[in-house]
Structure 1
Amino acid sequence: MQSVISRCPNWVLFLCAFLAGGLNVLAFAPIGYWPLQLLSLSALFCVLYVENDIKKIMKTTWLYCFSWLFFGVIWLTVTMFRYGDMPVWLAVFAVFLFTGAIACIPVLFMGLAARYKAHFSPAVICLVWFPTLWSLAEWTRDWLFTGFPWLVSGYAHNASPLAGYAPIIGVFGITWLTAIFAGSVVLFLDGKRSFSAVAVGIFLLGGALQYVSWTTPSGAPLTVRLLQGNVDQAIKFEQEHLIDSLRFYYDAILKKPADLIVTPESALPLPMQFLPPEYLPDLQKFATQTNSHIALGMFSSDGPNLYANSMIGITPTPQKTTYRYDKHHLVPFGEFIPWGFGWFYHFMNIPMGDQQRGALLAAPFAVKDQQILPNICYEDVFGEEIAAKIAHAYFTQQAMPTILLNMTNLAWFGDSWAMPQHVQITQMRTLEMGRPMLRSTNTGVTTLVNAQGQIVKQLAPFVRGELDVSVQGYQGLTPYIVCGNYLWLGLMSLLALVTACSYFWKKRVR
């Protein structure tokens, strides 16, 4: 291995890194060939292991990560050129800058790994040093500048044996394990065959953990109707089509009863006070007569230019205070404008693009004997926030969420891989929480994912219709709910600390 990599010209290594990163995209939905994630990362680690030139290592890492992210989220351009009237070339360039900047995060971490790798043994480098810094780099994407953890390595394994670890250490813990696997491959190729047992052990234990049930069924199943309006984003806020949307969801809700009827995110693209005066009273009357609960995606307003992306809950018994959930984790440039970027907001002309942030620890929506925990669009990408809500309810002895609900609108991204990638993220969330998730979307993919991370039923994208499902709630706690990301961070830090102490002890003895 070392002789082959050492003889390769720089341009060959850089090209291979770029191709390996692009190949990594196929490990995620909709292709979902997860072994490619392990193979491509192993290839990158081979170069990092052999090379000693830090600049070459950083360039190789950037090319790998840039290719992976750029081709994985190229669908972001659809928003810009189709709905933001931005020239195609400028939209592509914007995604180039965005993904190129994100790719610099692992570059810094792996540059640090290269800087100090000479101080450690090959086993420590490949099984501790590289995996620790690689997973920290991916985790940093989760929170830096509000976070963009899309296509984190662990998501490729929602259907692999590594999925068994999701309820324990979450998607970032799985990312750490994939890096350990890649490190063991490097050692194997370097002639240290015994370390292949590490990779085998990781997979065997993960497969066994899939048979562990961390949560149990709770209460009676609910009948649910998930509505999909298929409203083109380009015309959503036009007066004529706005009335059509209001009429569609009005008729669809009143069509037949169910325990829970759900519309997508911002299905009613008007604040409550601007709806026709009979709209909500008629829905309340229907809910009361049929014993149905209704979850409406709409905008709320608490004053001039104070808008929130909300879910409004209507119950059979009218409440003094209407249930309202406001989206907490807002998308930069789409839902809030970072300081200094007001010019971008006006250039893109995004309707209601600067919104108010809701509370993180919001209460669930009670539907019969189930507790529905809503999240809106991008929020289900942040598993630690959903876990924190469930854990807070448990430790404060409040109503425990039993079913997760995602209301989203991916019409912004057209017929792209954003939809299946988002479903894959949903599957990982259900594995981490041990609870099913309902997804009601505008254009797709409207889905029911069970507590085992499996797609039970889904509606075809880009059709106007509804998905009728029965969903069973679950109770209990997974280790990930209790500990969040702290468990894998603690395990990884402990391993790194023991290794460092061992190194300095041996150095002192010498």
Structure 2
Amino acid sequence: MQRLAGRIILLWGWRRSLAAFLAGALLVLAQAPYDFPAVGFVSFPVLVWLLDGATGDASAGRLRRLRPAFAVGWWFGFGYFLAGLWWIGSALLVEADEFAWALPLAVVGIPLVLAFFYAVATALARLFWSSDIGRIAALAFGFGVAEWLRGFLFTGFPWNEVGYAVMPVPLLMQGVSVIGMVGMNVLAVVVFALPALLAGRRHLRLGIVLFVVLICADIGFGWFRLTQPEPAASRSLDVRIVQPSVDLSEKWDAAVRDRIFKTMLTLSAQKPDLTHAEPQLILWPETSVPFLFNERPDALTALGDMLKPGQLLLAGAVREESGTGAEDRYYNSVVAIDDTGQIVDAVDKVHLVPFGEYLPLSGLLERLGIEQFVAGPMDFSAGAARHAITVPGGVKAVPFICYEVIFPRLVAVDVTSGELIVNVTNDAWFGDTPGPYQHFRQAQVRAVENGIPLLRAANTGISAVVDPRGRIVDALAIDAKGILDVRVPVVRQWVVSADQRRINGFVLLLVLALAAVALNVRQRLPLN
């Protein structure tokens, strides 16, 4: 191990960059759908050893001395995001004749930008670097800060945070209910990077003990939570989730809209089998209604005729709002429709996808000939705020549209008074690629974090019901067409509040920072 570490430490130039790139790309195999966390025990030790050798000119300024570490982190991040997000380009191929030109910008450009977060992580870590276990603490602190920043800077994109790499199954997800994603991110880096100590002798025993303790604690807490008796639910809700598997090439085609709508009605009206009751709540995916209701009032009449007394439909739809000026506003929404065919409530998407649902700096970019990269019926406006929709039985369901569900703080704040997380999405843009599986995994973790059930309706999958401990009650596979009928117990099973979870995560981050600084200072002190 010492010989291998020595060779990696001495890498220089393009060889060092290539090693960092490959280490980052390898780490993607720890994420869904591959779910092979063991690769982290290769990627992060290699990153540690590369940073050991990333020393700048001692005569240069402090920031200039960090350039080699910054470069190592950037190449590591570029490999990770390129290998983990290449599937984003699939959305541009739905209408390739119009958007194929933007393929390099999406497939390469997004990883190029996101890689700077990991460059900041490694540069920050190198500030407090030492030759012992302190550098593991420094690296975990750097990544913890970088992943936290990635969650909100430039509208935020916390996709595939490193903490998800240690949560492939519910047994290993339960820790997030106590320390949140901030805590899981830093502990994931600690656990993955500790094997780097095998290349030396300093703090080796401490590292082994810490490694065993952290893994046993995570597994032990997961086992404890999953084996606890289910708390009694005062209420339950019979839910039907509809997955129509509509081809995106047809979705907004006026010639087939009626057929798509009829398919949705037929699936929704199916008689349940003998093991299930009639659904009280029916859930359709994002933008599953293929036209505007104000243009087709007959559609609301058809829905009223389809719904049985007491049933409620939550449907993803485009909602139009007449503006005071010349232009109307359009919202990507979830609308609630009762058994009389009336829209009784609606929640608009608050966090829109840049370049997909709206164009940032639209005036400037449109003058340059740049438009939305993803085809759609119109540009969307952001909703002002989210609220819970009351569904049958008085249950409070909080809708999150598409990628809104990947933002831990956004979900935690908005579900405070909710009892169900509802996620509607249309991952058909990305086909049968890793994207839909990664999206579902992040939604699944939101259920564990907040201790409430998740109902998820996706156009082409993965539609599912997830319990408050992250276990999949039932699901439909990618590209399957059908329905899920599930009785969902309505009960909150959180461990700590969202505020306490956030505090716990930042306390861990602070502890690692103090440990890194203390060991760095100790190493610099002259020996007596």
Specify if TM > 0.5: yes
Shift of 1:102: 0.8
Tell me the matched-pair count: 496
The alpha carbon displacement at 1:348 in A equals: 4.0
Q: Which residue of structure 2 aligns with residue 158 of structure 1?
A: 167
Q: Alpha carbons of 1:204 and 1:359: their partners in 2 closer, same or farther (altered >3 Å)?
A: farther
Q: Write out aligned runs for 1:279-428 (5 A).
A: 279-287=299-307, 289-303=308-322, 304-316=327-339, 322-339=344-361, 340-342=364-366, 346=371, 348=373, 350-391=375-416, 393=417, 401-428=418-445
CA-to-aligned-CA distance 1:73-132 (integer Å, 9 cap, x gap) = 111111113325357575135421211111012112312322442xx56332322x2211
Q: Do the aligned residues in 2 keep the contact of 1:168 with 1:479 (CA within 8 Å)?
A: yes
User: Are the equivalent residues in 1 in contact too, given 2:293–2:299 (CA < 8 A)?
Assistant: no
Opposite residue 434 of structure 2, the aligned amino acid is: W
Matched to 2:288, the amino acid is A
Out of 104, 115, 119, the residue aligned to residue 92 of structure 1 is 104
Residue 56 (structure 1) aligned to one of 54, 68, 73: 68
Q: Which whole-Å CA distance do the structure 2 matches of 1:198 and 1:448 have between them?
A: 36
Structure 1 CA distance for aligned equivalents of residues 131 and 49 of structure 2: 15
Secondary structure at 1:238's aligned position in 2?
A: coil
1:220 paired residue number: 235
Q: Does 1:123 align with 2:148?
A: no
Asked whether the equivalents of residues 162 and 206 of structure 1 are also in contact (C-alpha less than 8 Å), the reply is: yes
Supply the AA of the counterpart residue of 2:90. V
Displacement after TM superposition at 1:185 (Å):
2.3
Aligned to 2:118: 106
Aligned partner of residue 487 in structure 1, secondary structure: helix
Matched, 1:246 2:269: no
Distance 1:15 1:89, change over 3 A: farther
Q: Deviations over 1:462-497 (max 9, x none)?
A: 233222222222225432523353431233125524
- Paired residues of 2:72 and 2:122 also in contact (CA < 8 A): no
8 Å Cα contact 1:405-1:437 kept in structure 2: yes
Structure 1 residues 173-201: Cα deviation after superposition (integer angstroms, max 9, x where no partner) = 21110112234322343223212111111
- Indicate how the Cα distance of structure 1 residues 18 and 86 shifts in structure 2: closer, same or farther if over 3 A, else same: farther
What CA distance in whole angstroms lies between the structure 1 residues aligned with 2:107 and 2:471?
Answer: 32
In 2, Cα distance between the equivalents of 1:111 and 1:497? 17
- 1:172 match: 182
- Given that residues 295 and 313 in structure 1 are in contact (C-alpha distance below 8 angstroms), is that contact kept between their aligned partners in structure 2? yes
Query: Residue 137 of structure 1: CA displacement?
Result: 0.8
Q: In the TM superposition, what whole-angstrom CA distance separates every residue of 1:308-329 from its partner, at most 9, and x where no partner exists?
A: 111111245888x711111111
C-alpha distance 32-283 of structure 1, shift in aligned 2 (>3 A)? same
Matched, 1:181 2:181: no
1:20 aligns with 2:23: yes
Larger deviation: 363-372 or 475-484?
A: 475-484
1:172 positional shift = 2.8
Kindly indicate whether residue 51 of structure 2 is the aligned counterpart of residue 31 of structure 1: no
- Shift in CA distance, 81/47, structure 1 to aligned 2, threshold 3 Å: same
Separation of aligned partners in 1, 2:20 and 2:118 = 14
Secondary structure in structure 2 of the residue aligned to 1:212: helix
- Post-superposition shift, 1:29? 1.2
Residue identity opposite 1:193 in structure 2 = L
What are structure 2's unaligned runs of at least 5 residues?
Answer: 57-65, 272-277
Distance verdict in 2 for CA 1:226–1:104, change over 3 Å:
same
**Aligned equivalents of 2:372 and 2:513: distance in 1?**
47
- TM-score, normalised to structure 1's length? 0.89
> Structure 2 CA distance, aligned partners of 1:264 and 1:383?
21
- Residue type of the alignment partner of 1:126: I
The match for 2:87 is 75
How far apart, in 2, do the equivalents of 1:154 and 1:190 lie? Answer: 27
SS at match of 1:231: coil
Partners of 2:415 and 2:421 within 8 A in 1: no
The question of whether the paired residues in 1 share the 8 Å contact of 2:141 and 2:512 is answered with no
C-alpha distance in 2 between matches for 1:278 and 1:361: 28
CA distance 1:36–1:274, shift in 2 (3 Å):
same
Instruction: Measure, in 2, the Cα distance between the counterparts of 1:316 and 1:75.
Output: 40
Deviation >6 Å, runs of 4+: 501-510
Aligned partner of residue 174 in structure 2, secondary structure: helix
Distance 1:103 1:293 in 2: 45
**Counterpart for residue 273 of structure 1:** 294
- Matched residues in 2 for 1:422 and 1:502: separation? 39
Structure 1 distance, partners of 2:92, 2:243, is 24
| Between 234-243 and 467-476, the greater mean CA deviation after superposition | 467-476
The 1:196/1:369 distance shift into structure 2, 3 A limit, reads: same
Distance change in 2, residues 1:498/1:198 (3 Å): closer
Contact 2:355 2:371 (8 Å CA) reproduced: no
Change (3 A) 1:88 1:217: farther
Whether the 8 Å CA contact 1:45–1:182 is kept in 2: the answer is no
The TM-score, its normalising length taken from structure 2, stands at: 0.86
Alignment of 1:189-268 (within 5 A): 189-191=199-201, 192-194=203-205, 195-210=207-222, 211-212=224-225, 216-256=231-271, 257-268=278-289
* 2: CA distance, partners of 1:489 / 1:456: 32
How big is the alpha-carbon RMSD for the aligned residues of Structure 1 and Structure 2?
2.9
Q: Is the 8 A contact 2:423 2:454 kept in 1?
A: yes
> How far apart in 1 are the matches of 2:105 and 2:401?
29
The alpha-carbon deviation at position 499 of structure 1 amounts to 6.1
